[in-house]
Structure 1
Amino acid sequence: MGLFSNEKKVDYDKIVDKMVPDARKEMDESQYDTELGLNMARDARKVISGKLKIEDFHKVYSSSLTKEFGNYYASADGPDIRKGDGPKWAMVIDLKKCVGCDTCTVSCKAENRTPPGISYNVVMESLEGEFPNIKAVNLPRPCMQCDKPACAQVCPTRATYKMENGIVAIDNDRCIGCRYCIVACPYGARSFDFGDSYEQEMQGANDVTSPEYGVERGNREKGKTPIGTVRKCSFCFHRLQRGEEPACVETCIGDARFFGDISDPNSVVSKLAASPRAFRLKEELGTHPNVIYLR
């Protein structure tokens, strides 16, 4: 019997760990308190896993956040979830069908007009086993759209928030680019927009707006949002509003991606999520991602 007769032997969490940025290095590049960001990220995960009460979390950090962020700081008052009608979106990715072609990565960049160094969808590759029993493993990673997102827990301005439709959104007009959410995300799904551009390689590259959440922002210019803020996958929310699927789902050559309403028991994604092949990355954290994989 071959080494890979049982797919469970592949450590997918270890693969995704390679994409998680060095937290201290990330925070040292920010103008805000490094230790505060690292400590909040650590304790936010304790809140998510039930090891720390949310009330105690706010008691510990409220004073420090007020001191560090001043008028930018938004207290914990108010709803954690933004209301909204409609389905609860989820994505299922069949790893047996993923061929590692990176079409999802390319189509995502083209659709969302992301700048150099920022890719909302990546395909992590790993060689598992020992020669001659070696297998290439592809692990696509969009934003997990967690039901209990640690990124929202640490956001001092409440720019990151959860919508009832399952999407974790960013209000880039409120985001101050502190990067606390980047170090809190256990999946490495967030990036800071430094303002880099493809303008030198392609004339007119900055004339197309960033379409996140259906917001038209005009030409890409320094000092103008979303430059200086954090960006990530939104399940192509602007496409969902038009009744279309996310670009990565529509263009997947291997038909490895499925998208739909997981609250509907008759939907394809709901049935696939109930499969014995189904699993979520880093399930022990309690983030409950709305991206589900099939072994």
Structure 2
Amino acid sequence: KIVKEATLAEWKDKPKAGNEDDYYKISMWSGHDKNFTNYDEQPNRWGVAIDLNTCTGCSACVVACMSENNVPVVGKDEVWRRRDMHWMRIDRYYDDSEKSEKDVSADPTAKHQPMFCQHCENAPCETVCPVGATAHSEDGLNTQAYNRCVGTRYCANNCPYKVRRFNWFNYSHEDKYVNLALNPDVSIRTRGVMEKCTLCVQRTQEVKLKVRKDGRTAVADSDNFQTACQQTCPTQAIIVGNINDKNSKVSKLRANPRGYGVIEEIGIKPVVTYLTKIKNTEPAKV
């Protein structure tokens, strides 16, 4: 399942309710004589935890992401042509298992799930790029080299989450007033280039420099690092941090029995963990 859920009674009986799937752990690289980076040994390794219980689907994170990362606003017509540029989207799912057909149409039960680049450790997009424009950084991020990208879109075809975006046009931002709204810390992409969530790489680099000035190597929760989506979320449903720090909040959430990765069974190892949604279906006690 993409969105997992359980009732409150089921969760009380079994903390892993709704998330019992125990997949066979496979590796896409087993058997190869490789010299890849061991991310577990790095001082910093970024990860994300999202609590589906607290997400309300308000889309504030989507707006913040576009503003922070200079994502073009393409307009309604281009969205209809499936040329939207949002790095982040809110997927909405409806549940009709507990209601009649009439009740569903009148009052459907909806579930919301923020979806963006999962920064997979075994990223399918990286293996198909003919020019190596997408690769992994030493701190576990799936990065995109805009100057190297030639726009084959193979990476978008191979992404199981469909979160990569292609610049069909050159959104030059020639209007001087529009330019005033751009973030100078983020590159402007041009026509024919793929782009996606970078996990606010400009902010991760800034906090790493701050930590280095303090004579440390690992980023801690006390450094108050936040991505744009995390900073804007009104319910604090999104938590980003250093998962190699076992005392960090994101590490503890990833170890929660409710935690799971979307389609992790195919062995791509996403670093984004979702917490199973728990529904209280018990009647109110008066």
Establish whether TM, by shorter chain, passes 0.5: yes
Residue aligning to 1:163 = 137
- Are 2:139 and 1:175 equivalent residues in the alignment? no
Q: Does 1:92 align with 2:32?
A: no
Which secondary structure state, in structure 1, belongs to the residue aligned with residue 96 of structure 2? Answer: strand
| Counterpart mapping for 1:27-106 below 5 A | 50=28, 86-106=43-63
1:114 aligned partner? 71
Taking the aligned partners of 1:51 and 1:260, their CA distance within structure 2 comes to: 26
Q: Which has the larger radius of gyration?
A: 2
Contact 2:68 2:228 in 1 (8 A): yes
Equivalent position amino acid for 2:274 in 1: Y
Query: Is the Cα–Cα contact under 8 Å of residues 171 and 190 in structure 2 kept in the other structure?
Result: no
What amino acid is aligned across from residue 249 of structure 2 in structure 1?
V
Distance (whole Å) between structure 1 residues aligned to residue 171 and residue 38 of structure 2: 32
Structure 1 residue 264, shift from structure 2 partner? 1.2
Q: 1:129 maps to which residue?
A: 96
Amino acid at match of 1:277: R
Amino acid at match of 2:88: N
Is 1:258–2:222 an aligned residue pair? no
Which of 195, 202, 205 matches 1:231?
195
Paired AA for residue 230 in structure 1: M
Shift of 1:156: 0.6
**Pair 1:122–1:198, CA change in 2 (3 A):** farther
Distance 2:201 2:43 in 1: 13
Tell me whether 1:268 sits opposite 2:225 in the alignment.
no
Pairwise CA distance, 1:82: 11
* 1:204 counterpart letter in structure 2: Y
User: Aligned partners of 1:182 and 1:274: how far apart in 2?
Assistant: 30
Q: Is the 8 A contact 1:150 1:185 kept in 2?
A: yes
Distance 1:182 1:216, change over 3 A: closer
Query: Counterpart of 2:50 in 1: which secondary structure?
Result: strand
Query: Identity rate of aligned residues, in percent?
Result: 32
Q: CA deviation at 1:188?
A: 0.5
Q: Provide closer, same or farther for how the CA distance between residues 260 and 293 of structure 1 changes in structure 2, counting only shifts above 3 A.
A: same
> How many correspondences in the alignment?
224
Q: Label 1:207 to 1:155 Cα distance change in 2 as closer, same or farther (>3 A).
A: farther
Aligned-pair RMSD on alpha carbons?
3.2
**Inter-partner Cα distance in structure 1 for 2:37 and 2:6:** 42
Of the candidates 117, 123, 143, which is equivalent to residue 149 of structure 1?
123
Shift of 1:121: 1.0
Deviation at 1:199, TM superposition (A): 5.3
Decide whether aligned partners of structure 1 residues 237 and 105 sit closer, same or farther in structure 2, where only a CA change above 3 A counts. same
Provide the C-alpha distance between the structure 1 equivalents of 2:250 and 2:6, rounded to a whole number of angstroms: 26
Give the distance between the partners of 2:259 and 2:166, measured in 1 at CA. Answer: 31
Greater fraction of residues in helix: 1
Return the offset for 1:242.
2.2
Matched residue, 1:205:
178
Letter in 2 for 1:252: C
What's the CA shift for 1:197?
3.5
Change (3 A) 1:172 1:264: same
Provide Cα deviations, 1:239-261, integer angstroms capped at 9, x if missing partner.
Answer: 12222421001000111011111
Verify the 8 A CA contact 1:89 1:261 in the aligned structure 2.
yes
Structure 2 CA distance for partners of 1:156 and 1:268, relative to 1, 3 Å: same
Q: Which has the higher contact order (CA 8 A, sep 6+)?
A: 2
Q: Which amino acid is 1:241 matched to? A: Q
Distance 1:164 1:240 in 2: 12
1:123 deviates by 0.6
Does structure 1 retain, via aligned residues, the 8 Å contact 2:69–2:186? no
